Amino acid sequence: MDPKRTLTKTAARLHASLMMHQQAERANLDRTFVGLTERFAWAARLVRQLVVCSERGWLGARCRMLQQVRSPIRDLELELRRTQVCVQLDQEPVSLRLVHDELKQLGQEFGRFALRDGCLCVEIEPIELEGVHLGAFEIQLSLEQLASGDTERALRIRALDSNPAASNEAVTHPHVNDERLCTGDAATALNASLRAGRICDFFLVVQSVLQTYNPGSPYVALDQWHGRPCYECGYTTAEDDICWCESCERDFCEDCISCCSACHTTSCRSCLNSCSFCDEPLCESCLQACSQCGQAGCPSCLEDSLCSTCLEELEDSDEEENGDRQQPVAEQACPASAA
């Protein structure tokens, strides 16, 4: 298809979506005005009641009313400020000529653009942040979601040669999760660009966000990008530092792994038990039960399958039995020696 005709058709579709986007935002602003009208009516009723309380000398009732309405009044103040911002951002209808010129500039900035599956798409060059190669991305703007007024869902970031985080394959960029971009402080600029129809500025701001790393709010930090998550605590550990539990065959960090004190097999804490007598960690195969009391212990705390307590009781019992056997012999010897 002729490039000029493609540009014209894309501009027409994008212009229609932007007009519907503005219409949806105006509808939201109108609903806000209606809500404010209701709040002001409530405030007017309150003022009349306060005046009545003052005129009749009901000062106690007036004080109680003022205590109850402090929070709603603060909410009304915040709502007024938000409405003022929306009014200031309300734009004149976007012209088709402006959208056409913005698309031409978009092609110049990114080399080319495409309208595919209802999305305006541009590709950006491979990104590398702090030594981590993240690959190339495609920025997509859904015209359908844009027309509905849902700016957040309209933007998607698709990885072209994905190098996702080892702990979460849905995170293809520190600030992209499941193709959704965390815009952070850039959200206001992005929304303002769409309201004004500055499409090229919108894509440039998104590209700038992707080329910037904010260590304060990543889905996965860059210093943990190539590691594997610990099954116990979830902390991402470098490949060289990961530990493997020989019992459950899962990966653990150094803080969540231990070993059997008897056979020294590497195991996670969940796969280890404790000796009932010395509290040392033991794997299942090294755990032995006292044949007398049944308490589980390590081999060094058991002697002849008996714990020290049961062994002492058994020895005391044997001594008592031996004493009982020797006592009659001594009693028979006494008369003979007396005679």
pLDDT per residue over 206-265, tens digit each?
A: 999 999 999 988 998 898 888 777 888 877 777 677 788 888 888 888 888 888 888 888
Strand extents, DSSP E, the chain: 114-116, 119-129, 132-142, 155-159, 171-173, 176-177, 180-181, 228-229, 236-237, 243-244, 251-252, 257-259, 266-268, 273-274, 281-282, 288-289, 296-297, 302-303, 306-307
| Amino acid residing at 126 | P
Please compute, for residue 116, the number of CA atoms within 13 A of its CA located in the half-sphere on the CB side. 9
First to last CA, the chain: 139
Q: What is the mean pLDDT of residues 120-136?
A: 94
Q: What is the dihedral of CA 155, 160, 166, 167, to 10 degrees?
A: 20
pTM of the model: 0.60
pLDDT for position 338: 44
Within a domain: 230: no
Same domain? For 53 and 195 the reply is yes
Any domain includes 276: no
> What is the separation of C-alpha 28 from the centre of its chain, rounded to a whole number of angstroms?
30
In a domain? residue 330? no
| Domain end call among 179, 198, 215 | 215
**Both 204 and 291 in a single domain?**
no
Q: Using N-to-C axis directions, what is the helix angle for 187-196 and 199-210, rounded to 10°?
A: 160
- 10 Å Cβ neighbour count for 151? 21
> Do 28 and 174 sit in the same domain of this protein?
yes
Band of the pLDDT at 339, cuts 50, 70, 90?
Answer: very low
Q: Could you tell me if 172 and 317 lie in one domain?
A: no
On whether residue 204 sits in a domain, the answer given is: yes
What digits encode the pLDDT tens for the residues 163-208?
A: 999 878 899 999 999 999 999 889 888 988 888 889 999 999 999 9
Same domain, 161 and 298: no
Residue 311 shares a structural domain with residue 179: no
Same domain, yes or no: 211 and 301: no
> Is residue 135 domain-resident?
yes
- Number of folded domains in the chain? 2
129: Cβ contacts below 8 Å, ≥ 6 apart: 174, 211, 213, 222
Please report whether residue 292 resides in a domain: yes
Same domain, 209 and 295: no
pLDDT at 132 over 50: yes
CB contact at 8 A, 121 and 36 = no
**97 is a domain residue:** yes
Count Cβ atoms below 10 Å from residue 38 Cβ, excluding itself. 9
199 and 291 in a single domain? The answer is no
Which is more confidently placed, 331 or 86? Answer: 86
Range of the structural domain that residue 296 is part of? 287-323
339 found inside a domain: no
Does residue 307 share a domain with residue 194? no
pLDDT confidence of residue 204: 96
User: Which of these three, 215, 247, 268, is where a domain ends?
Assistant: 215
> Of 198, 215, 232, which one is at a domain's C-terminal end?
215
